[in-house]
Amino acid sequence: MSLLLFFSLALFANTIADRYWVLRAGEPDWRLDRLGRRFWALLIIGFGQRRLLYERGPGWMHATIFFGFLVVATRTLMLIGRGFDPDFTLPLLDGRLGQIYALVKDLFAVLVLIAIVYALWRRLVSRPPRLHLNFEGVLVLLWIAVLMATDLLGDAAMLRLHPDSPEHGWAIVSTVLMPLYGDAATGTISTWWQVIYWAHIVLVLAFLNYLPWGKHFHVLTALPAVFFERLTPSAYLAPMEFEGAESFGVGKIEDFSWRRIFDLYTCTECGRCNEGCPTYTTGKPLHPRELICDERDQVYALADSLVEIGKLKATGRTEAAAEASAALQRPNLIGDVNSEDTIWACTTCGYCMTHCPVVIDHVPNIVDQRRYLTMTEARVPSALQTALRGLETNSNPWNVSAAAREDWIGDLAVPHLREKQKAEYLLFVGCAGSFDDRNSQVLRALCTLLNRADVDYAILGTEEGCCGDPTRRVGNEYLFQMQAEHNVAAFGKYDVRKVLTACPHCYSVIRNEYRDFGLGDVEVVHHSELLADLLAAGKLTVTAGADVKVTYHDSCYLGRHNDIYDAPREVLAAVPGLSQVEMPRTGRAGFCCGAGGGRMFMEEDIGQRINHNRIDEAAATGAAEVATACPFCLTMLDDAVKETERSEQLEVRDIAEVILAQLDTAAPTPQ
């Protein structure tokens, strides 16, 4: 046993050391803050398997194998101890607790075997599209099945050899299996026990050494990945430092942080990220799983060189590490490993990240590569160049004169902070509300409702700049930081304490990212939240309209990225005569409109248009209206209605417009 442990663990340690030095080739990334939150995530997402338990069938199957493996692993440790002392048992597992454990262990071993049969049926018979049929997946399932079988059969032999064992009657499955040994002599049963015992131990140690060499490395890395997860909001992007930098973003593997490389180790290839990804679903070149796997393949292909670079960085020889990195002959990360079309296809909707069971950060990975293309290589799609030029010169992607930022107001009574100096809410209008005619109607509807409810608000007008969301998501971090600092300074000038916006992109970037640029204790409110409160408090009242069926489209940046699902639905529920019907892909699994990540201002000429896919789903519900709470979603879905010739069948409106249309103007004005 000593020799077996020494050689197997030494081999394993050598493999893991190489994996560690590859991680050190990446950039530093501190992940030991907020330890309480990290241990809680480890408990709930890691050991609790929360993200898998959302999914019946396959999710429960994987969770069962995970839980069973943990339970049976405890027995394996006990068996290893018995290689030194036949009477060894783990602390606390003697007496009644040990008997209960024997019962639980046997039941879990059977559950794991059942789960493996189901998993093999899915891989070999039903074969859902998201699964890769490969030898390794089947091998590992059979390997685990043999481990469970040897555990049960070994215990059955042990119970025959020791009829006075306290586990009799508790290890119920092993007890049931005892007759398999028939009337064999004690010596024969002892031989069977020895064979099964050593087979189990050798298979466990062989499995341990096999794991780092394939996709099942996640068996070892998943729990650490959860512990070291990013604790910032899902839409958050870390700011870049420009001083002294020779290049920007990620142009090669070593430019990623060590945690991103750890993501590559941890991918389970389960395909959950692909399943609801708008680019994968509509035939675009970006497939989140393949993105991660292709990058991981390059890591393994360059492993020997990355180990050397990692050792140089670990000893403080950064210049030598940079020289070794520059001299390394390799395929281009962007262009060869990932095509440029792949990098630009992402809508940053976050579906991949919120459904990944091992919390891989796909979107920051992609944005870092966009930063490299935009700021280091100056390579951006032509359509995007126009938007970026407008953002730089006029602080809006429509490239309309900044002086026209107040033109949407017309003759509507909208107060300005430059006149009031102080207001409870700063209404951050955003570029869509200011410069896009269709969305200007939404802002006018919202202001009419705010006036009616006597809400104390004001706008910045021409003092407002773009929130910076499109700029940052397409990779122009330098321009984004200028925009963020401009708006933060304007907020500070008027001592703003609450920001109200009808745009989830403005909401998300101000709420989650402006803190890095000096934003103080400012509450950010989406108009759906305020409207829901005003309706609930009776400050806005609505009359019954014609019976109409409406389906609500979840904005990715409002829902998945900021967990606001109920407020828009509460607003719609306040309208008598209006009935809501949900699309199949809704809430956490909602489908993107196609405009996020700067895609609003780019061409979509590969595969099916994302907004067409979504409007097909909306039309299939039988609804007469699609309600939105995002200017980008409104534009994209409205365009899809026209392009698919459904204008007589469907109407797309913002929730503020829905309320305004049914506003009870006869009700007394709130005091």
CATH classification at residue 298: 1.10.1060
Average pLDDT of the segment spanning 532-543: 95
Q: Does 63 share its domain with 90?
A: yes
What is the per-residue pLDDT for 31? Answer: 95
CATH number at residue 433: 3.40.50
Average pLDDT over residues 299-315: 96
Q: Per the domain annotation, does 282 fall within a domain?
A: yes
pLDDT reported for residue 165: 86
Per mean pLDDT, which of 48-52, 161-165, 193-197 is the most reliable? 193-197
506: alpha, beta or left, given left = phi > 0 and alpha = psi -120 to 50?
Answer: alpha
Higher pLDDT, 434 or 243: 434
Last residue of a domain, one of 499, 533, 567: 533
Q: Are residues 418 and 501 in the same domain?
A: yes
What tokens appear for 525 in the block?
């409110």
Residues 342 and 403 occupy one common structural domain: no
Task: Read off the CATH number of the domain in which 175 is found.
Answer: 1.20.950
Phi and psi at residue 652, to the nearest 5°? -110, 125
**Could you give the C-alpha distances from 318 to 27, 163, 325, 456, 544, in angstroms and in order?**
11, 65, 10, 55, 70
Closest CA to 587 of 550, 623, 636, 551: 551
Same domain? 369 vs 398 = no
Segment 6-65, tens digit of pLDDT: 999 999 999 999 999 999 999 999 999 999 999 999 999 999 998 898 888 889 999 999
- Residues 454 and 496 reside in one and the same domain: yes
Q: Would you state the pLDDT for residue 670?
A: 63
Question: What integer pLDDT is reported at residue 166 of this predicted model?
Answer: 86
**671 lies in a domain?**
no
> Which of 327, 358, 379 is a domain's end point?
379
Q: What is the mean pLDDT of residues 326-347?
A: 95
Percent of the chain at pLDDT above 90? 88
pLDDT tens figures, 129-146: 888 778 898 999 999 999
198 and 270 within one domain = no
Does residue 404 sit in the same domain as residue 526? yes
Could you tell me if 523 and 432 lie in one domain? yes
Residue 244 placed within a domain: no
Q: Where do runs of H (alpha helix) occur along 302-423?
A: 303-314, 318-327, 340-345, 351-355, 362-371, 382-394, 417-420
Report the interhelical angle of 258-266 vs 2-24 (nearest 10°): 130
Say if 22 falls within a structural domain: no
**Contact status, residue 190 vs residue 202, Cβ threshold 8 Å:** no
Q: What's the mean pLDDT in 618-632?
A: 97
pLDDT level of residue 76 (50, 70, 90 thresholds): very high
CA 4, CA 84: separation in Å to the nearest integer? Answer: 12
Number of structural domains (the chain) is: 4
Residue 3 maps to a domain? no
CA separation for the pair 359, 540 (Å, rounded): 42
pLDDT at 479 over 80: yes
Interval 324-338 mean pLDDT: 94
Question: Does residue 630 lie in a domain region?
Answer: yes
Written as six digits, the tokens of 422 are 């102080």
Whether residue 292 lies inside any domain: the answer is yes
- Domain range for residue 86? 32-227
Handedness of CA 616, 617, 621, 627 (dihedral sign): negative
User: Given this model, what pLDDT does residue 355 score?
Assistant: 94
Q: What is the pTM of this model?
A: 0.92
What average pLDDT does the structure give for the chain?
Answer: 94
Q: What is the pLDDT of residues 214-270, one digit of tens each?
A: 889 999 999 999 999 999 999 999 999 888 778 899 999 999 999 999 999 999 999
Q: Kindly state whether residues 507 and 472 are assigned to the same domain.
A: yes
Q: Does residue 101 share a domain with residue 195?
A: yes
Which of 332, 350, 379 terminates a domain? The answer is 379
Residue 671, pLDDT above cutoff 70: no
Considering the domain architecture, whether residues 367 and 434 belong to the same structural domain is answered as: no
Q: Inform me whether the pLDDT recorded for 667 exceeds 80.
A: no
123 inside domain: yes
Q: Is the pLDDT of residue 568 over 80?
A: yes
Size of the chain, expressed as the number of residues it contains: 671
Q: Indicate if the pLDDT at residue 515 is higher than 70.
A: yes
Confidence grade of residue 669 (pLDDT, cut at 50, 70, 90): low
Q: In this structure, are 523 and 555 located in the same domain?
A: no
